[in-house]
Chain A
Amino acid sequence: AQSVTQPDIHITVSEGASLELRCNYSYGATPYLFWYVQSPGQGLQLLLKYFSGDTLVQGIKGFEAEFKRSQSSFNLRKPSVHWSDAAEYFCAVGKNTGGFKTIFGAGTRLFVKA
């Protein structure tokens, strides 16, 4: 069965520092991969997605993610974090077999300190 693991429950970074959020997935074929962000009291917003092609994916708000098949990883990165990036981040994997289904990780909460 497919699954998504986000090893870090929460991460704290200083404003202006770089960020990397980890995501590992388990799936037999090439998955569809997503990163979503959820601000308090809000729904989820898609940051970026990977379906195929270039393994380095650019998203909104200055985020990028790299798909590494050998490591079954899809880590999210940002070179310089802003205070407004404080939120919950969810990695998700999708499969399209008899209908599309998305499985979400448990999330990583990002705290940004001044």
Chain B
Amino acid sequence: EAGVVQSPRYKIIEKKQPVAFWCNPISGHNTLYWYRQNLGQGPELLIRYENEEAVDDSQLPKDRFSAERLKGVDSTLKIQPAELGDSAVYLCASSLWDSGNEQYFGPGTRLTVT
């Protein structure tokens, strides 16, 4: 079984530039999560999807961050414009059903904003 796929693995951009991250969850997993992990910290939820619906985006900085999950499968997370403080690892995870089941994480995208 293929795991959660994320791309790119690394991204270096200058501040004020846009950036996008892509995630392909495990086949059949209807719940998809985007997390941000700052250096030396645990992951923090940005947004959670149930199929194509964003059911929890309370922690997403909506002035510069956006996300979509068309057709309830792949998802894209975008930052525009990026700021220095956005440097972090962006993790995507999926789960089979959203009631405490375990989450499967992708390898993450390490973003560096210069």
User: A interface vs B, CB < 8 Å?
Assistant: 4, 9, 32, 34, 36, 41-46, 49, 51, 90, 92, 94, 96, 99-102, 104-107
Contacts and interface: CB of A to CB of B under 8 A. Distances in A.
A99 B102 contact: no
B48 A99 contact: yes
Contact of A41 (B42, B55, B107): B107
B53 to A, nearest CB: 11
B105 interface: yes
A101 B98 CA distance: 9
A105 B42 contact: yes
A106 B56 contact: no
A22 to B, nearest CB: 15
Give the 10 A-B residue pairs with the shortest CB-CB distance, closest first.
A104-B42, A43-B105, A44-B105, A46-B102, A32-B100, A100-B98, A43-B107, A43-B106, A90-B42, A104-B43
Nearest to A39: B107
B107 A34 contact: no
Contacts of B42: 4, 90, 92, 104-107
Contacts of B41: 106-107
B4 interface: yes
Contact of A100 (B4, B44, B100, B108): B100
